[in-house]
Amino acid sequence: MKSQGKVAALFLLPYLLVFLVFRFGPSVAGLFIGFMKWNIVGDAEFAGLNNFRKLLHDPIFWVSLKNTLLFLLLTLPPLIVFSLLVAVLLNQKLRFRNAVRTISIIPYVLIPAVVGIIWNWLYDNNFGILNYYLKAAGLGPVEWLTSEKWALLSIAIVTVWSFLGYNMILYLAGLQDISADLYEAAKIDGATGAQAFMRITLPLLKPITSMVITLTLINTIQIFDQIFVMTNGGPGTATLTLVQYLYGTAFQNYNLGYGSVLGMATLLILIVFVQIQSRLLKLED
């Protein structure tokens, strides 16, 4: 048994080293840097709680927080509802369903920067395909990424398109784990398809739904790549999210102390939302 434990430890060692060096270490360092005034080049100066006080009175932080919460509101519900509906559809015995499943996951495996570039072309005001058809229908053009009214919604659409297939695969795995005997018994008892869905499918998918919500919260609150490529936080501050503001503060303005505080605030907000959704799902049990 001892030899097996040593072998297991050896297999875990590479991951633990990577975790300590690239995850845990920077997190602890960021906590200390939050109490410093440091621009990378010079020596760090102890700033006490100044960075934390600045956070409370920083109007740009509150704008980025509002944009992040709005972005979450625009992406979380469709990523739950549409992913489940597509999974239910592709769980049926349909022709070409395996091909459709494969195609649906392609947007997720694409590099986010590539996704941003592709949708930049689609959204372009002058030669984008979306505005081309809107003009043909007499409805356009729409300033998708250059209007404060449409920019955040436009990126939310791209995010839903990107992550829908991944969430669908998770739901599909959960659906295939539900015994067909339960549906047969419900059918014998006279239950309709909608009743079986509400009384069997949704309750048994609750663990999957909890995981999907948690992963979606993490992905949307930490959204960066697509916004950086598509709008870089603009126009103005219309698409400036917490992580985008953190990046600009720490790595463009070289204010590592305040950037670390922004990172801690983002992590705290993420933890709060994950705890809320966990409690809500448990209350329904």
The enclosing domain of 224 has a CATH number of: 1.10.3720.10
Q: Please write down the HEC assignment for all residues of the chain.
A: CHHHHHHHHHHHHHHHHHHHHHHHHHHHHHHHHCCEECCCCCCCEECCCHHHHHHHCCHHHHHHHHHHHHHHHHHHHHHHHHHHHHHHHHCCCCCCHHHHHHHHHHHHHCCHHHHHHHHHHHHCCCCCHHHHHHHHCCCCCCCCCCCCCCHHHHHHHHHHHHHHHHHHHHHHHHHHCCCHHHHHHHHHCCCCHHHHHHHHHHHHCHHHHHHHHHHHHHHHHCCCHHHHHHCCCCCCCCCCCHHHHHHHHHHHCCCHHHHHHHHHHHHHHHHHHHHHHHHHHHHCC
Each residue of 230-262: pLDDT tens digit?
999 989 999 999 999 999 999 899 999 999 999
pLDDT at 52 over 90: yes
Kindly state whether residue 81 falls inside one of the protein's structural domains.
yes
Of 18-22, 59-63, 153-157, 228-232, the least confident: 18-22
Which pLDDT value is given to residue 260? 93
What pLDDT, on a 0 to 100 scale, did the predictor assign at position 283?
58
Which pLDDT tens digit goes with each residue over 95-151? 777 888 888 888 888 888 889 999 999 999 888 899 999 988 888 788 999 999 999
Is 28 domain-assigned?
no
Instruction: Indicate whether 43 belongs to any domain.
Output: no
Q: Is residue 21 part of a domain?
A: no
Flag whether pLDDT at 273 surpasses 80.
Answer: yes
Domains in the chain: how many in total?
A: 1
- What is the residue range of 177's domain? 59-281
Asked if residue 14 is part of any domain, the answer here is no
- 159 within a domain of the structure (yes/no): yes
- Residue 90 domain-assigned (yes or no): yes
Q: Is residue 16 part of a domain?
A: no
